Amino acid sequence: MAKAKVLLIIFMFLIIQGSLIPFLNIGARQPDLLLILVVCLSILWGSKKGAALGLAAGLFQDILYGQALGIFALTKMLAGYLSGFTEKNIYKDFVLGPMLIVFLLTFLHEGLVFIFSEEVTRLSLMYILLNAILPKALYNFCLTPFVYLLVYFANKKNFFYPIQ
Amino acid sequence: MLTPMYKKKKIITILLILFFLIVLMSLTNRERDRLTIVEDIIISAVSPFQNAVFTASAQVRDFVELLQEYQYLAKENNRLTETLGNYKGISNEMEEIKQENKRLREMLDFKDRSDHTLMPAKVIARDPSNWFNTVIINKGHKDGVSKDMAIITNEGLVGNVLSVSRHASKVLLLTDSLRAVSGTVQESREMGTIGFVEGFVDEPGYCRMVNISQDAEINDGDVVVSSGLGGVFPPGLVIGEVIEVGQDEYGLLKYALIKPAVSFNRLEEVFVVKSAGDEFLSEKEIEHYEEEFSQEEEWEEHESEIPVEEEIEREEMENGYLEESIDNRRIE
């Protein structure tokens, strides 16, 4: 049941990201809600569950929106796995920690996507860094509190039991 | 330091998954004719929700755009209204200039037709406490204006110069209670004095002609003009129209209520009468005319002594001469 809830939330976030966020984008820049979700839950659940969550979320993203299967699965799995290491080293009641982690992992996530995609052969890394990755990192940084507080209180209420 | 076995397993699993994903990427990173069954099921399952969210989002976006458009239209409307206001202002200004042009043309025409030496002037102020009775014009003694000069418009008599400064003059209007103008009825030539209607607070701006004899022929609608007596106002200037005739309080004389020809509350351009040509009579001329008048009286007395037959003969000759001259004109 908890897995179904997680899947449902992943799909919800995917649908919101694909069908709602394009209407709310700022200067053609879009946040990665799914990445924020993966990182936030990974901070709460640890690296193993975070990696699994990232893998599942990324795979669904690949299926729904990606070109080649595996790109987002790989990048999000890594993001979930790495952010899960902070589970025991972060003060979870303070939202700034997850915000900074999301900000940093956005660079890793987007950088890997840039490398795995064919864009790497056409565009310079610096250009992508300044024009695509940095704005997205800032956007994610700003949206993290909303997602983190949502999953934090859901987790506190044992909404994801027994996964959590 | 050795890595614990469970950690090794974990890292190996991750590496395996990564390897699997990279292989999957390389396999799927090309154009595929068909999706896999799993992809097909997932996309088919999710697409209705995507469609619903997208449609709702699009409607929200349209609504927001409509609101933005409404705001834009409201701003545009305000801007256009403002622009229209400016155009209205310009239009009003143009109408004002047209009216002024028309008035000035009429005045110019009047000036050309007038026998007097006229100087155009512009009303620049009204007495705020009693604006009805004095106005300020933009000509003063530098322009040749002097006290007691008559002020007229093409409509008729306005008043006279009360005081003169360097570049402006104060004009006492005809309707002021200090005013007394000698006037006469245009048709019957009945003489009287024009004064302000005191006590007619319900009808301000009207004049009253007083000291009219009981047997004088004066009726409603008669036009009263200045007689020229007094030496201030030229004769023949229209003062106004009789709107009421009545007995004075003692029942000995008549009075007439006169509506001034000039619209005093709309005065804008006036003329200062600098000279009245030969229309003002000097003392010598007055004496001369008095002598002529007495001679005429004597002649009338003498004429009454001429026999009737001779008078008839003279009248017939005169009529014949007139008829002959009319015939000559017809032939021509």
Tens of pLDDT, residue by residue, chain B (332 residues): 456 666 778 788 888 888 888 888 888 776 666 667 887 788 778 778 877 877 787 778 788 888 888 888 888 888 888 888 777 777 777 777 777 777 777 766 666 666 677 888 888 776 654 434 677 788 887 888 888 888 888 888 888 887 777 777 878 887 776 667 778 887 766 555 555 444 344 456 678 887 787 777 888 888 888 877 777 777 778 888 888 888 877 878 888 888 888 887 677 788 888 765 444 444 555 565 456 546 555 555 555 555 555 555 655 665 665 556 545 544 44
Q: What pLDDT is stored for residue B277 in this prediction?
A: 44
Helix axes A47-64, A2-15, angle to 10 degrees: 50
Check whether A41 has a pLDDT greater than 50. yes
Q: What pLDDT is stored for residue B301 in this prediction?
A: 55
Q: What pLDDT is stored for residue B295 in this prediction?
A: 58
Whole-Å CA distances, B44 to A68, B39, B41: 18, 8, 5
Q: What pLDDT is stored for residue A145 in this prediction?
A: 93
Which residues in chain A touch residue B54, judged by CB atoms under 8 angstroms apart?
18-20
Q: What pLDDT is stored for residue B281 in this prediction?
A: 47
Q: What pLDDT is stored for residue B223 in this prediction?
A: 85
Q: What pLDDT is stored for residue B190 in this prediction?
A: 59
Contact A55 B24 (CB under 8 A): no
How far is the first Cα of chain B from the last one, in angstroms, to the nearest whole number? 148
Which residues in chain A touch residue B8, judged by CB atoms under 8 angstroms apart?
none
Contact A70 B50 (CB under 8 A): no
Element of type H or E holding B224? strand B223-226
Whole-Å CA distances, B274 to B150, B234, B278: 8, 11, 13
Check whether A11 has a pLDDT greater than 60. yes
What backbone torsions phi and psi does residue B183 show, to the nearest 5 degrees? -125, 165
Q: How many residues does chain A have?
A: 164
Q: What pLDDT is stored for residue A144 in this prediction?
A: 93
Which residues in chain A touch residue B28, judged by CB atoms under 8 angstroms apart?
67-70
Q: Which residue has the tokens 């007394």?
A: B180
Contact A77 B24 (CB under 8 A): no
Helix axes B37-113, A47-64, angle to 10 degrees: 70
Whether chain A has a CB inside 8 Å of the CB on B12: the answer is: no
Contact A16 B24 (CB under 8 A): no
Mean pLDDT, range A138-150, rounded to an integer: 91
Q: Best of B7, B9, B25, B43 to disrupt the A interface by mutation (most A CBs within 10 Å)? A: B25
Contact A70 B21 (CB under 8 A): yes
Closest residue, chain A, to B62 (C-alpha)? A23
Higher pLDDT, B104 or A5: A5
Of B29, B38, B57, the CB nearest to A67: B29
Which residues in chain B touch residue A18, judged by CB atoms under 8 angstroms apart?
50, 54
User: Binning pLDDT at 50, 70 and 90, where does residue A148 land?
Assistant: very high
What backbone torsions phi and psi does residue B73 show, to the nearest 5 degrees? -65, -40
Chain B nearest C-alpha distance from A117 (Å): 9
Which residues in chain A touch residue B14, judged by CB atoms under 8 angstroms apart?
51, 77, 81
The answer to whether B267 and B158 are in contact (CB under 8 A) is: yes
ipTM: 0.81
Show which of residues 17-36 on chain B sit within 8 Å of chain A, judged by CB atoms.
17-18, 21-30
Closest residue, chain B, to A112 (C-alpha)? B22
pTM above 0.80, yes or no: no
The answer to whether A81 and A50 are in contact (CB under 8 A) is: yes
Of A23, A64, A74, the CB nearest to B21: A74
pLDDT in tens, A49-108: 899 999 999 988 888 777 778 888 999 999 999 999 888 888 888 889 999 999 999 999
CA angle B92, B97, B99 (to 5 degrees): 90
Could you tell me which residues of chain A have a Cβ less than 8 Å from any Cβ in chain B?
A: 11, 14-16, 18-20, 22-23, 48, 51, 55, 60, 63-64, 67-71, 73-74, 77-78, 81, 116
How far is the first Cα of chain A from the last one, in angstroms, to the nearest whole number? 12
Chain B nearest C-alpha distance from A130 (Å): 26
Dihedral Cα B3, B9, B10, B16, nearest 10 deg: 130
Closest residue, chain B, to A75 (C-alpha)? B18
Which residues in chain B touch residue A48, judged by CB atoms under 8 angstroms apart?
10
